[in-house]
Amino acid sequence: MDISPQRAEDDAAGDGQEVVASLDALSAVPGFQGLVGRVIGWMDRLFMLFANLALIGIAVTVLLQISGRLFLPFALSWTEELSRYLFIYMVALAAGVAIRRHRHVNVELFHHLLGLRARAVYQALICLLIGGFALMVLPAAWQFAQNGAWQTSPTLRLPMLYIFFSTVVLFALVLFYSVIGFCEGMLAAWRPSTEGDREGASWK
């Protein structure tokens, strides 16, 4: 029996989603749909684009450093510093998206035993704790960033304000995506069950 390429691609995508769902129980919790969901998706892609550009910058900088040590009579001292700053911003930009996609470090001992409603409540609780921590730390991160206004980096001579500001970006994005995760969890926990809910995740 012939299978069209489009159908084969859809089947592969469905199998991939099932694998992700089996590895991450919280992926069964539905997110925002419609215009809000599309806007959040665009923001996800934008932050991941910046994070990927930072990763590419790290690779180019490290390769330049290695090439300089091999082929140049002098060392490029600024490459190590730049790669460090790019790594810091890569982590800061991707932290929020990691929360939304449930890619942060966690230990799943009982998640698969929960029904879909219980998973949604659990997600809301976790996002509430993470967001509360980020909200507490964010003012201190801003004060820390302001301390860099009177400092410059050793080799690039960049104002350290821009480097220290990565902490503000980090906790602001963590807070933003925690609020989104909390709202999604609460909406999923309180909405009525439908026949379209995933099999194997009964509402409790």
pLDDT digits (tens, 9 = 90+) for 20-66: 455 566 677 777 888 988 999 999 999 999 999 999 999 999 998 88
For residue 74, name the pLDDT band (cuts at 50, 70, 90).
Answer: confident
For position 204, what pLDDT does the model report? 41
Closest CA to 32 of 195, 184, 181, 177: 184
For position 133, what pLDDT does the model report? 96
Give per-residue pLDDT as tens, 79-92: 889 999 999 999 99
For residue 171, name the pLDDT band (cuts at 50, 70, 90).
Answer: very high
| Position 12 pLDDT exceeds 90 | no
| Position 19 pLDDT exceeds 60 | no
| Position 200 pLDDT exceeds 90 | no
For position 2, what pLDDT does the model report? 47
The larger pLDDT score, comparing residue 5 to residue 119, is at 119
Question: Mean pLDDT, the chain, as a whole number?
Answer: 82
